[in-house]
Each structure stands twice: as C-alpha cells, then as structure tokens.
Amino acid sequence: MLLLDCETPRSLYHQTSTCYLLLRDDDFVNEHATRENTAVSIGHEALVFSKPKKSWTEFFHQKFRHLSVGKLYKFSDKVLIGVFSITWLLTWFLVLPCLIFLPLAKVLLAFFVIRMALLIVMMYVGPRKLGASFETWKTPFLDFMYAFYYLVTGAKALIAKKVKWKI
C-alpha cells in the first residue's frame, strides 16, 4: 500500500479523509512518489492480493510488460536495479562455473554461501513480518530458475520497440 500525503495535488488521486491510494501500477509510483509524500507500510493489512493470470501466455505477457517499462525509470533506479540484476545473474552464470576452475574457489564459495544464507533468512523473516508464509527450502531452486527466466524475458523486453498492453 502506498500512502500519499494530503498535500499531493488532487489531480493525482481523489482526495479522501485518509489519503490512501491503492496502486496497481509501478509507473505511477516511479513518477510521483517522493520521500516527502510516501511512506512504507509493513504488516498483514498492507498486503494486496490479486487474481493470478489463467494461462502461461497471459502470465508471460504480463511479466514482459512489467520489465519493458524499466526503460522509463529514473537513471538512479536503473543503476540500482541493473547492479542488482547483473550481480545476481553473475552469481549463477559465472561464479558457479568458476568454482571448478579457479584457485580462489573457496573464497567464491564463501561469498555464494553467504549470499544464499542472507537470501534464505530474508525469505524466512520477510513473509512472517507480513503475516504470510513461504517454504524457505525452495529459495535456492527458485532463485536459480528465476535467473533463466529473467535473462530471457528481460532481454526480450529490452529489445522490444512496442509493447502490447492487451493480448
């Protein structure tokens, strides 16, 4: 849930006594949210559930749309997301093969284990703070699978000239 302060111009949303705005679109947040008009709400009441897509085609189309709008993000956000994505992909596609061939394999393995341990802890603690649950033993497998998905879908979104918003 995004909480915008009541001083935000009326044209952005219909002003109510509580000034809450439930958002479905990251583009609005990217364009209008600032430190002064935005707050983070953590807890079960802040969770928003949406109906899942009914087919793989709809699912991949939605994910492709989400990744394709990254071109419109602020430069600083692009840098942060880019550094995160590159280091994450390098973890799976470069570090693991290097463990076999490099003399510093123990150092790389230590970094990999620390990263995975932190990821597992975050996937254990985060959902509990939100009043949800997640089977943390799935984390390494899902992280590995998502690397392939992200690489293919992200590359497709980067080279796309025009994105259809409806199938």
What residues make up the domain containing 91? Answer: 56-159
pTM of the complete model: 0.64
Q: What is the pLDDT of residue 161?
A: 67
**Segment 134-145 mean pLDDT:** 92
Which own/partner contact pairs does 27-31 have at CB distance under 8 Å and 24+ positions apart? 27/69, 27/72, 29/2, 30/72, 30/73, 30/74, 30/77
Same domain, 113 and 37: no
Q: What is the pLDDT of residue 153?
A: 82
- Tell me: the pLDDT tens digits for 80-135? 988 888 888 888 887 777 777 777 777 888 888 899 999 999 999 988 888 888 89
Q: What is the pLDDT of residue 22?
A: 44
Share of the chain above pLDDT 70, in %: 77
Q: What is the pLDDT of residue 108?
A: 81
Residue-averaged pLDDT of the chain: 77
Residues 6+ apart with CB under 8 A from 167: 57, 58, 61
Q: Do the beta carbons of residue 30 and residue 38 sit within 8 Å?
A: no
Give me the number of domains the chain comprises.
2
Same domain, 141 and 66: yes
What's the pLDDT band for 164 if we cut at 50, 70, 90?
A: low
Judged by average pLDDT, the poorest of 29-38, 50-59, 131-140 is 29-38
Report yes or no on 17 lying in a domain.
yes
Largest CA distance in the chain: 63
Report yes or no on 49 lying in a domain.
no
Q: Do the beta carbons of residue 112 and residue 96 sit within 8 Å?
A: yes
Share of the chain above pLDDT 90, in %: 13
Same domain, 114 and 138: yes
Same domain, 32 and 99: no
Q: What is the pLDDT of residue 10?
A: 46
Same domain, 34 and 8: yes
- Tell me: the pLDDT tens digits for 59-70? 888 887 777 777
Same domain, 35 and 64: no
Rounded distance between C-alpha atoms, residue 63 and residue 54, angstroms: 14
Report yes or no on 135 lying in a domain.
yes
Cα of first residue to Cα of last residue in the chain, in angstroms, is 28
Report yes or no on 25 lying in a domain.
yes
Q: What is the pLDDT of residue 26?
A: 62
